[in-house]
Amino acid sequence: MSAVHFRRDFPFFQHHPETVFLDSAATAQKPQAVIDALTRFYAEDCAPVGRSAYKAARQADRRYRTARQTIARFLDADAAGIIFTKSATESANLLARAFARPKLCKGKNIVITAWEHNSNYLPWVEICRESGAELRVARPVSGPDFPVVLDTLTDEHTVLVSCTAASNVLGDTIPLAEISALCRQKQIPLALDGAQYVAHHPVDVQTLGCDFLFFSGHKVYGPTGSGVLYVRPELLDEMAPFLLGGGMICGDDPECYAPGAGRFEAGSPDTAAFIGLAAAIDYLNTLGRDAICIHEQALARQMQDGFRALSHRVQLLGQPAPDASVYTFVCPGAHPFDLACLLNGHGIAVRSGKMCAQHLFDALGQPLGGVRASLACYNTAEDLHRFFNGLEDALNRLQRK
Ligand SMILES: Cc1ncc(COP(=O)(O)O)c(C=O)c1O
């Protein structure tokens, strides 16, 4: 299937035919199939879930249950361990509060890395501060260093390792198999932040060997307001409820919480968002995960060739893997914000700044942040051709001064 075909499925590009959208790491555009699923729910099937016996409500229950199964299959996970949240951010906070916080006290520690998005950084800072536990931050120089630095920081007092599966700043490969082998060997639960991973790689939580994995639906072509926290089902009983309210109790006893994932989904859910997320996953499966990977790898090669040709003027941060989907760069003499504005003048959408990873940019010695171009299945070779032409033009203007 050609890239042009992928692109045709996304109405955004009919409304913005001249836009080169290279900000999918922030949020991905939505295929028509997702928009249709949302519209159908609101127009034809709108009803509460898990609460009522009438026909439309039972239909909504079925759709919602099917959505959970679709998402479980997408991760090769047991549907019992799929908790619906509103975002990766909420998932990380739930994990921190429900699983880790009750186990933390002085003498215990949590291990994360310096490559985390604030969503997988600040919840740990806060619960360690509250409990007197220690937050240990692994500082790898590049992707291959992750297992070694994590090994030196973990010990018998480590309650959890929470690590990004793919950084939102650096495109380096992170050796997930080695990290999970290390955690298994040391019997430490492992959480993976999959926010930048799941749209670009087939995911199988059994092979990944993680105990938790979370992501946001909107970065995987689904609706905003949909997020997932996968929990290895055996661990669910170790977790305390996070939000309290309707729909999370067992029978009539308000103090007996529902078993399994239901205990963590208090209140009326964003039903449409999860039906939309399941539609996004069905759409990806229809395109074929392999076809998407092959297409994105070709784009990654073109990206890396383009940056190599400009290496005298542009510094790419990190060492992007052959299939990297994010490219963050800095250019001597050009402020990232100015570059992003000039690229916008060429119809090119990129992100500039510190991408919610201030501590990483500090560690990289980049006080102004950088510019990030990120890929998705709808990008084309022509997009990247225009991006590099636009970048050269922006550099000619800014670096001349
Ligand atoms: C690696 C990573 N983790 C977590 C998040 C948080 O996602 P959200 O803002 O959708 O909750 C992001 C968002 O950019 C991210 O890139």
pLDDT tens digits for range 45-61: 999 998 889 999 999 99
Determine whether 356 is an active site residue: yes
Instruction: Calculate Rg over the CA atoms of the chain.
Output: 22
Helix (H) or strand (E) holding 152: helix 146-153
Topology annotation, domain 3-30+288-400: Aspartate Aminotransferase, domain 1 (3.90.1150)
Q: Is any ligand 1 atom within 6 A of the Cβ of residue 119? A: yes
- Greatest mean pLDDT among 50-54, 108-112, 251-255 lies in 108-112
Best CA proximity match to 113, nearest among 75, 154, 85 = 154
Task: Flag whether pLDDT at 253 surpasses 90.
Answer: no
Ligand 1 center to 383 CA (angstroms): 24
Neighbours of 123 (CB within 10 A): 24
Task: Flag whether pLDDT at 104 surpasses 90.
Answer: yes
Percentage of the chain modeled with pLDDT above 90: 91
Distance (Å, whole) CA 81 – CA 259 = 11
Q: Is any ligand 1 atom within 6 A of the Cβ of residue 91? A: no
**Mean pLDDT, residues 326-346:** 96
Express each pLDDT in 279-333 by its tens digit: 999 999 999 999 999 999 999 999 999 999 999 999 999 999 999 999 999 999 9
The segment(s) of the chain belonging to CATH 3.90.1150.10 are: 3-30+288-400
The single-letter DSSP state of residue 97 is I
User: Which atom of ligand 1 has the smallest separation from the CA of 168?
Assistant: 16
Q: Is any ligand 1 atom within 6 A of the Cβ of residue 109? A: no
User: Which atom of ligand 1 has the smallest separation from the CA of 166?
Assistant: 1
Long-range pairs, 118-122, Cβ under 8 A, ≥24:
118/356, 118/357, 118/358, 119/87, 119/88, 119/89, 119/92, 119/193, 119/195, 119/356, 120/88, 120/92, 120/162, 120/164, 120/193, 121/359
Confidence of residue 259 (pLDDT cuts 50, 70, 90): confident
Q: Tell me the sheet residues that pair with 158.
A: 109
Task: Flag whether pLDDT at 96 surpasses 80.
Answer: yes
Which residue in 128, 210, 341, 356 is the catalytic one? Answer: 356
Query: What is the CATH code for 34-285?
Result: 3.40.640.10
Residue of 84, 85, 119 best suited for mutating to test ligand 1, as the one with most atoms within 8 Å of CB: 119
User: Which atom of ligand 1 has the smallest separation from the CA of 218?
Assistant: 10
Let me know: does 247 contact 268? Beta carbons within 8 Å.
Answer: yes
Tell me what pLDDT residue 250 has: 82
Task: Flag whether pLDDT at 401 surpasses 60.
Answer: no
Express each pLDDT in 185-230 by its tens digit: 999 999 999 999 999 999 999 999 999 999 999 999 999 999 999 9
Cα–Cα separations (whole angstroms), residue 72 to 37, 368, 386: 19, 40, 38
Upper half-sphere CA count for residue 316 (Cβ side, 13 Å): 21
Best CA proximity match to 357, nearest among 195, 200, 210 = 195
Distance (Å, whole) CA 91 – CA 165 = 15
**Mean pLDDT, residues 376-380:** 97
The segment(s) of the chain belonging to CATH 3.40.640.10 are: 34-285
